Amino acid sequence: MPEMTTVRIAWKVPDSGSPFKCQRIAAAAPSASSVASPNPPPRSSADETAAGHPSSVAICNVHDYQRLARSRLPKPLYEYLASGTDDEQTLSQNVDAFKQYFLRPRVMRPVSSVSTRIELFGRTLHSPVFVSPAGVHALCDPIDGECSAARACARVGTLFGLSQHSTRTIEEVADAVSDTSRAAADAPNLWYQSYILKDRALTLRLIRRAVNRGYRGVFLTVDSARFGYREADARNGWDALPEPHRLVNYDEPENPSSSSSSSAENDGNGGAMDQTYNARDHASWDQNSERMFDTDATWDDVAWLKREGCPNLPLVIKGIMTGEDALLALDAGADGIMVSNHGGRGLDGALSSIDVLPDVVRAVRGAGSRAPILLDGGIRRGSDVVKALALGASAVGVGKPVFFSLAVGGEDAVANMLNMLRRETEACMAICGAASVRDITERLVTRHPSGGPAVPYVRAKL
């Protein structure tokens, strides 16, 4: 398997309850064996000292991971991970919209002991930040793929969502986090993410494999009847998953006989699926995988999946962008809602996730439901986490930062990134007078009194 360029972490990642300090890591030179391109990016003067030794790079926040990953990854791979669709309006708004909400700190409140812990579907998370399901982690960590991020989540005590389009199998990820020394309450919190395929039998087999291996819940992504067109991928020739990577869950080593009668379109084995998602019929890779999905699915199919696939596990519908659909999801049997626009990689021109959240919260709570409402898209700071919680989110997920952290330092970097967000969240809570997540209410956040800044937000230069 090709060796991936990384920057090795030169420090020990703190446990979930330990303070975090801005650290420095040693930069490594690009490798010609990089996974997505035979030619490494050009070396910069920042890569080495005059004596030829690796320079030191400070990682103090989530943005630093993206900046460093961009300097290390081949351009086609970085742009596949970082880009959005069309004009990338929604991609940028996911992050920028958080700057249009402002905090109302309360003072003279006891905050000597601040806890970021939450309860979600009966499990304790040490932080309200979890890893959203997103595929093909091995593009950034070709040795361990999704296993690295799953182990990082187990270490910091939060939820890990495994994509149906992962590069490590459902079983491999479960094995990677298994630890019989853990107490039951601290057991790894793995969730599986599903799409509704044209091959319904395969859809159920995948979910049942996750159920059988102890996954705690299921995300059902419903916003991908079509993928948005990503021009960066077309320009870079990113029209297939690079060798040797595969969407391994479709390989089905047991080769169940129930798939043998599938039609050619209802691909039931790894080889046929590979010819689907790597068909190169379109200039952008994700368009080639569309033909696997059932584009005529309805809310009745959500009820079917809950009934037949995971009747005893919580089902969260991911990709909800309106209050109306949130209510329909609950009526179909969903146990939770996830506000998400697929990281700005679906419909360009859609609202940011944080701007949609209040509408969904009003609809769900107005109907008398206490179902958890999750959100992903644009979370880059602890203050973003607090704003989302104040607006009604139960927890928030991160996606792109996971890839960039993996590219920089694998499992340790992901654990560190999650701990940074937890530390920032804790500090923001303390300054706002919130000793626990329960103290974060809608009174803590507001729009700007004048309707918003007169000019776009630009970070001050030091």
User: Is a pLDDT exceeding 90 seen at residue 175?
Assistant: yes
What digits encode the pLDDT tens for the residues 427-456?
A: 999 999 999 999 999 999 999 888 765 556
Residues contacting 120, CB < 8 A, separation 6+? 159, 372, 394, 395
Confidence band, pLDDT 50/70/90 cuts, at residue 57: confident
Say how far apart CA 67 and CA 172 lie, in whole Å.
Answer: 31
3-class DSSP state of 163: coil
* Residue 266 contacts residue 199 (beta carbons within 8 Å): yes
* pLDDT of amino acid 233: 92
- Residues 245-274 have a mean pLDDT of 58
* pLDDT of amino acid 288: 66
- Note every long-range contact of 255-260, with CB atoms under 8 Å and residues 24 or more positions apart, other chains counting: 256/205, 258/201, 258/205, 259/199, 259/201, 259/202
* pLDDT of amino acid 402: 98
Share of the chain above pLDDT 70, in %: 77
Give the Cβ contact number of residue 19 at 10 Å: 8
Which range has the worst mean pLDDT, 15-19, 213-217, 270-274, 299-303? 15-19
Which range has the worst mean pLDDT, 133-142, 299-308, 331-340, 452-461? 452-461
Q: How far is CA 361 from the centre of its chain?
A: 21
Higher-pLDDT residue of 303, 274: 303
Q: What is the helix (H) or strand (E) element at residue 211, kind and residue range?
A: helix 200-212
Catalytic residue among 165, 245, 342, 448: 342
Say how far apart CA 334 and CA 327 lie, in whole Å.
Answer: 9
Beta strands in 116-243 (DSSP E): 118-120, 123-125, 129-131, 159-162, 189-194, 217-221
User: Is a pLDDT exceeding 90 seen at residue 289?
Assistant: no
* Residue 343 contacts residue 400 (beta carbons within 8 Å): yes
Please tell me the chain's helix, strand, coil percentages from 3-state DSSP, rounded to the nearest 5.
40, 15, 45
* Residue 374 contacts residue 397 (beta carbons within 8 Å): yes
* Residue 319 contacts residue 329 (beta carbons within 8 Å): no
Which range has the worst mean pLDDT, 95-104, 134-143, 177-186, 229-238? 177-186
Residues contacting 103, CB < 8 A, separation 6+? 383, 386, 387, 390, 428, 432, 444, 445, 446
Which range has the worst mean pLDDT, 21-35, 375-389, 401-415? 21-35
CA distances from 33 to 30, 73, 142, 355 (A): 9, 11, 11, 42
Tell me whether residue 342 is one of the annotated catalytic residues: yes
What digits encode the pLDDT tens for the residues 80-89?
A: 999 999 999 9
Mean pLDDT (the chain, rounded): 85
Tell which phi-psi region holds residue 438, choosing left (phi > 0), alpha (psi between -120 and 50) or beta. alpha
* pLDDT of amino acid 218: 98
* pLDDT of amino acid 21: 52
User: Is a pLDDT exceeding 80 seen at residue 372?
Assistant: yes
* pLDDT of amino acid 458: 67
Give the Cβ contact number of residue 87 at 10 Å: 11
Give the Cβ contact number of residue 436 at 10 Å: 14
Confidence band, pLDDT 50/70/90 cuts, at residue 199: very high
- Residues 83-103 have a mean pLDDT of 96
Token pair recorded at residue 445: 């956040």
- Residues 241-261 have a mean pLDDT of 71
- Residues 335-360 have a mean pLDDT of 96
Which residues are registered as beta bridge partners of 248?
none
* Residue 339 contacts residue 356 (beta carbons within 8 Å): yes
* pLDDT of amino acid 180: 40
What digits encode the pLDDT tens for the residues 24-51?
A: 665 554 443 344 433 333 333 333 332 3
Residues contacting 52, CB < 8 A, separation 6+? none
Helical axes 323-331 vs 353-366, angle rounded to 10°: 50
Which range has the worst mean pLDDT, 63-72, 140-149, 266-275? 266-275
Share of the chain above pLDDT 90, in %: 70
Q: Is 103 exposed, middle or buried (0-12, 13-18, 19+ CB in 10 A)?
A: middle
Say how far apart CA 81 and CA 413 lie, in whole Å.
Answer: 17
Higher-pLDDT residue of 93, 41: 93
* Residue 194 contacts residue 166 (beta carbons within 8 Å): no
Confidence band, pLDDT 50/70/90 cuts, at residue 272: low
* pLDDT of amino acid 240: 84
- Residues 156-164 have a mean pLDDT of 97
Q: What is the pTM of this model?
A: 0.86
What digits encode the pLDDT tens for the residues 354-367?
A: 999 999 999 999 99
